[in-house]
Structure 1
Amino acid sequence: AQVWGMSRSTFQVAVVSMIMSVSVLIGSLWGGVMADRTDRRTLILWARGAAALAFAGLAVNAYLPEPTLWAIQLCVAWDGLATGVSVTALMAAAPGLVRDDQLPAAGALMSLTGEIGSISAPFLGGVLLAAWGPAPVFAFTAVTTALTTLLITRVRPLPPGVAEDEEDGDGKRFRSPLAAFRFALRDRVVGGLVLLGGVTAVFNVPVVLFPEMVDRRFDGGEVMLGLLYTAPAVGAVLVSATSGWLGRAARPGRLLLAAAFTGGLATLGFGLSGDPVLAFALLAVGGAAGTVYEILEYALVQHHTPDHMRGRIVSVITAQGTSGDIVGDAEVAAIARWFSPAGAAILNGAICAAAAVAVAVAVPGLRKATLPAPGADDDAPPGAADAADAPAAPRV
């Protein structure tokens, strides 16, 4: 809002958004490497402290008689880097705070708080901006970010695990970013999740098409557009709030693949629908399926990844989502221009559904993957629960 008010340029708004996305991507990749090399709590503390400084910089700039765009861009880039590092380190540290059988619940809690934040934050931010203006809002955010950073000091140290081979002095090979990619290529569960996640990240629900579809297909206005934007979050919150059954699923790998398939069909149906009520319902189903996928992806990745590689693997998953949004928006905009917005939604949904089927057939290890049952032995090695069903040689 501040950038638009200063420049009256959509291009400048897009530039700031792009800077944020790229810096989060870089921060996620770098944060994944650092999370496997240093204490994760310390990394989170430094990253959130840096984010507080970024908001303080935005506040100082906003209080100036003539705020500058370059200062906003610099602070946004700094905040994006800090956010990417802290999110990756937090996700890598989470399994050290809960038991393996509680990973689905932890994933559901993170998903629920994220969805509630995505719904409430824009509304609350708009109210505060209207009441106070940008400078006090940035200052308030800087203070609250600093306070949450202080709370993290109450968490015990969370050092990364050590690979057995590192004890022989070959630590650099196992600490390198490429080691995580080699692990993902070999592992039957993580590799399948990375493969499917890359497809679903790009060919996701085409949110950028909503304004044009509301105008051309549904003959609606801003209220209908707001409802379509809200629909996926409604389904996501409902699943997150009632997700206890996910931790008891006998075959979470199959359920994850079914969720990816269902989400693809829901997007395809949205592209075919001509009724706004049906479109809302399909988007809600897609949001629910996407949340089931995210919760199980989180739990399976955390359980099947060795602790000394968890930061880098998590950074790959996080980077997929960030880069997928950027590439996906460009992809769907191009297809919508060549064909139609509805055609772009149909194509995206069909690709996601087909990818789920293809991965289910090509990666049997993911299809057979399990998670520890509630109350299972915490000391069991990753993947022990499904060892009997898995092929002897991991492959993707």
Structure 2
Amino acid sequence: MSVRDHLIDITPLRTSPDFRAIFIARVVSLFGLGMATVALSAQVYDLTESTFQVAVASMVMSITVLLGSLAGGVLADRMDRRGIIVCARAAAALAFAGLAANAFSDNPRLWAILLCVAWDGLATGVSVTALMAVAPTLVRPDQLPAAGALISLTGEIGSIAAPLLGGVLLTLAGPGPVYAFAAVTTAITTLLISRIRPLPPGVGEDDDEDAAEDTGSLMVAFAYAWRNKVVGGLLTLGGVTALFTMPVVLFPEMVAEEFGDSDLILGVLFTAPAVGSVIVSAGSGRLTRTTRPGGLLLGAAFLGGVATAGFGLSGLIGLGQAAHLSLAVLMLALAGGAGTVYEILEYALIQHNTPDRLRGRIVSVSTTQDTTGDLLGDVEAALVAKWFSPAGAAVVNGAVCALTAVVVAIAVPALRKATLPLEDEDESGGGTGEDGPGAGTPVPAGDPRPATA
């Protein structure tokens, strides 16, 4: 087995021009968005000198992304997805242009910032949901894990590099140029996506018996998830892990109490999960070629919970400060890596087990879980920390995630035994290579009772 077998699989980029265009667009967009996020927080604080107002701006963004995701899921299952993404990204570019114009003005207004943030949140929610729904139509089913790994890797690298670059540009030039840069990068992504082929929903699913009864509502998607044990099990497990995830909101208090209120150590704790994620994504070659991902996904969810609990225990077992920090960073990196394994396989399994006519709405439900989980999870972790301690809250959250993974593994054998197709199973049809008339045509996954159920 060569080293190359363990490196991230870039086959989707080589064989699908449309996926390659969307991938490049995503990379460009992530850097613009990440840099703008830093500028937004800094500008709001400079204008108001209020951390509460910074939180309000963040809340406006989260709520509008949530609403946009729900709307985007319905739209993506009714209209051409390329057109939806192009319109949404164009709208986001206008929002960044508005932020730049406000920042360059002699008297920047907070209400203008919040209005542009809300507009961008809605546009981002719509475009992200539609974008996630199109990937299975651009790559073969056996390439879904590799596509998920590529998407995950760019997200983690962007989360590390973009804020750093944003901070540098903000220091040198102020928020206006940062927003202008975000507007330009978003316009570039709009142009890139406009050049791919049309992406209507439901392609290749004429044999889907339930399609005629699909009213286009979210309730149809929930009903499908109830029938399909793989999708239903994933949404159940994802909902719990989103709520009881790594309590990063407690990092500042833990650092203040246990590490002398060091900003450097705080930065290390925030970075550690992303480092673990990048390592796993970069070395995901063997992972993305697995044909029985269900058990591996459940194992990753369990390991992530154990690592989160281990992070909390590192502050409760009386280690010296150096040993405590080393163990805490190791557990955070392990949790980040396990989370990436889960994310890659969850993406592939949901996409493979959902018919194309429902992908937009199923993706919107999953995205909504993540968004609401982040919001409610911070509140949950803070309440538990008051009863115990920040470290105790991490132990509780980790234990809940690990226990849920065990319960789902026992209660949903279809998920535990779920499979993905081998490459040679898809060579005869539905490929996404650049050659042949069938390029880019998805293989239907419309049966609500998967073969592994």
Residue 142 (structure 2) pairs with residue 93 (structure 1): no
**Counterpart contact for 1:303–1:383, Cα < 8 Å:** no
CA distance in structure 1 between the aligned counterparts of 2:390 and 2:339, rounded to whole angstroms: 21
- In the alignment, what sits opposite 1:148? 189
- In the alignment, what sits opposite 2:65? 24
- Equivalent of 1:240 in 267, 281, 290: 281
- In the alignment, what sits opposite 1:343? 392
Residue 79 (structure 2) pairs with residue 38 (structure 1): yes
Residue 424 (structure 2) pairs with residue 375 (structure 1): yes
Residue 105 (structure 2) pairs with residue 64 (structure 1): yes
CA distance in structure 2 between the aligned counterparts of 1:387 and 1:327, rounded to whole angstroms: 33
Which one-letter code corresponds to 2:290 in the other structure? A
Q: Give SS of 1:212's match.
A: helix
CA-based RMSD: 1.8
CA distance in structure 2 between the aligned counterparts of 1:47 and 1:216, rounded to whole angstroms: 44
Residue 257 (structure 2) pairs with residue 194 (structure 1): no
Q: Give SS of 1:244's match.
A: coil
CA apart distance, 1:176: 1.5
Residue 148 (structure 2) pairs with residue 107 (structure 1): yes
* Distance change in 2, residues 1:360/1:9 (3 Å): same
Structure 2, gaps ≥5 residues long? 1-41, 316-323, 431-442
Deviations 1:287-325 (A, max 9, x none): 000000000000000000000000000111111111100
Which one-letter code corresponds to 2:186 in the other structure? T
- In the alignment, what sits opposite 1:394? none
* Distance change in 2, residues 1:367/1:205 (3 Å): same
Q: 1:164-243 residue pairs with structure 2 within 5 A?
A: 164=206, 170=212, 173-219=214-260, 221-243=262-284
**Counterpart contact for 1:49–1:146, Cα < 8 Å:** yes
* Distance change in 2, residues 1:281/1:146 (3 Å): same
TM-score (norm 1): 0.94
CA apart distance, 1:374: 2.1
Aligned residues: 388
**Counterpart contact for 2:353–2:450, Cα < 8 Å:** no
Deviations 1:35-82 (A, max 9, x none): 000000100000100000000010111112111111100100111111
- In the alignment, what sits opposite 1:158? 199
Which one-letter code corresponds to 2:155 in the other structure? G
- In the alignment, what sits opposite 2:88? 47
CA distance in structure 1 between the aligned counterparts of 2:227 and 2:444, rounded to whole angstroms: 17
CA distance in structure 2 between the aligned counterparts of 1:115 and 1:169, rounded to whole angstroms: 37
CA apart distance, 1:250: 3.7
Which one-letter code corresponds to 1:344 in the other structure? A
Residue 329 (structure 2) pairs with residue 253 (structure 1): no
How high is the sequence identity, in percent, across the aligned residues? 66
CA apart distance, 1:169: 9.5
**Counterpart contact for 2:145–2:289, Cα < 8 Å:** no
**Counterpart contact for 1:166–1:174, Cα < 8 Å:** no
Deviations 1:228-276 (A, max 9, x none): 1000000000011111112222420000000000000000000000300
* Distance change in 2, residues 1:167/1:231 (3 Å): closer
CA distance in structure 2 between the aligned counterparts of 1:311 and 1:286, rounded to whole angstroms: 29
- Equivalent of 2:371 in 301, 307, 322: 322
* Distance change in 2, residues 1:214/1:168 (3 Å): closer
CA distance in structure 2 between the aligned counterparts of 1:253 and 1:168, rounded to whole angstroms: 26
CA distance in structure 1 between the aligned counterparts of 2:347 and 2:210, rounded to whole angstroms: 31
Residue 411 (structure 2) pairs with residue 352 (structure 1): no
Q: Give SS of 2:422's match.
A: coil
- In the alignment, what sits opposite 1:362? 411
- Equivalent of 1:305 in 349, 354, 366: 354
CA apart distance, 1:382: 2.8
Q: 1:256-275 residue pairs with structure 2 within 5 A?
A: 256-274=297-315, 275=324
Residue 144 (structure 2) pairs with residue 81 (structure 1): no
**Counterpart contact for 2:149–2:288, Cα < 8 Å:** no
CA distance in structure 2 between the aligned counterparts of 1:352 and 1:80, rounded to whole angstroms: 29
- In the alignment, what sits opposite 2:319? none
CA distance in structure 2 between the aligned counterparts of 1:105 and 1:227, rounded to whole angstroms: 29
